Structure 1
């Protein structure tokens, strides 16, 4: 027993470190095509080289950067969406953090899917950050008003990477331009596809992703115009299972 004690102690310390990891802000966008008879959602398969969910189908999205909150936009989040985001932030709430979440969803959609959400304008955007240079080159201003905040989920404790992800909905109509190669410059997502909701839930996806797809479908059924003011669904892990809460 004595010989095994150091290994056990090291294992316990590692478990405690993993349990204490604070989830990082992240954002994901469910982009919906309503041009045909049935609504279709954009999904892509994560490259197998990824440590986090390799080979799984996901929505465009990723980690939020502090710099995202300082990017100029042609229109801001609705008051209702901003309030919902602020109410869930606790002591670290700020308008800049709200903006960072929404803008990172737009940035990640470009980086992973090659799609520019915003409005083209004769005036060049006053953006100097290199991550947004493609928007500036095309005179496309990010538009936060087209995003509707509707869900939130936090990666359970125990993993080396944890994310506190806010999910936004938007229609494909808000896309001002797209890269000709039909993919994003980061090459993080493969096999980008537009699928009916029923088919999207049959893909190789994490269970929480399946839940979020169903929540999005319910929001669109009750609020097809995506007017501000919809409830926000939050999933958190409790006693080994996801608990659903409505705000």
Structure 2
């Protein structure tokens, strides 16, 4: 999508997003590309959004959603690697470390809520926050150490909803508990582990395909996804979609 004009992006995403007039400020969001190795293949977890949703209805997406600032106060057993934390802090207003932490933790929370996968380590965990009671009940201490910052993208203007999304990744081996019936919400259905080439051919938004291509390129250069890798950033500047490196 790099270099596409706004008209070209609108056409490519016409079936992905509901269009709407008026300026809308992008909201902070995070999504998690959870990966697994099966032989020579790398699989990614995706689920289909319900057709009634205004944002990407019926599309296959990664677990994720809008950031809850209060997530920054959730205790964790391990923090982000400094290289990852610095890049995330660079994406938020006034370089707020708390906001960056909330973004990362929201990806972990949404993965539990939408897919029933709890990332962290087994052990006693306590918090009064309702959205995190699954971690309390199943004895999982959330951990930010497994997360890698893969890409960032801001929804172009002219959509009914706009998000400033950070695409993070982790490995299935970082999941402490997998609930057999999925998460407590009904945001996603048809959860599937797809080989990366198959995921790119699924019914996915154009930006999701672009981010999957970025992920494949990064894995080709660094199969272990070590901390501090390059992070592409997609956004609209002067009516043209551009790619930068954070």
TM-score, L = length of structure 2: 0.89
2:160 maps to: 160
Give the alignment of 1:74-223 within 5 angstroms. 74-91=77-94, 93-121=95-123, 124-181=124-181, 183-223=182-222
In structure 2, the residue matched to 1:23 is: 26
Deviation at 1:242, TM superposition (A): 2.4
* Counterpart contact for 1:169–1:216, Cα < 8 Å: no
**Unaligned stretches of 5+ residues in structure 1:** 1-13
Contact 1:118 1:143 in 2 (8 A): yes
Deviation at 1:240, TM superposition (A): 4.3
**Does structure 1 retain, via aligned residues, the 8 Å contact 2:92–2:100?**
no
CA distance in structure 2 between the aligned counterparts of 1:233 and 1:150, rounded to whole angstroms:
7
1:50 aligns to what SS in structure 2? coil
Cα distance in 1, alignment partners of residues 213 and 183 from structure 2: 26
- Unaligned 5+ segments in structure 2 are 1-19
Report deviation, 1:28.
0.3
Identify the match of residue 64 of structure 1 among 49, 63, 67: 67
Post-superposition Cα deviations, 1:13-37, rounded to whole Å, max 9, x if no partner, equal: x84xx22x21110000000011433
Root-mean-square deviation (Å)? 1.3
Q: How many residues are aligned here?
A: 227
CA distance in 2, matches of 1:68, 1:171: 22
The secondary structure found in structure 1 opposite 2:233 is strand
With a CA cutoff of 8 Å and minimum separation of 6, indicate the structure with the bigger relative contact order: 2
2:239, 2:39 → 1: CA distance?
40
**Structure 1 Cα separation of the partners of residues 53 and 149 of structure 2:** 27
Query: 1-side partners of 2:47 and 2:146: how far apart?
Result: 22
SS in 1 for 2:145: helix
What TM-score comes out, normalization by structure 1 length? Answer: 0.88
Q: Give the direction of change, closer, same or farther, for the CA distance of 1:84–1:191 in structure 2 (3 Å limit).
A: same
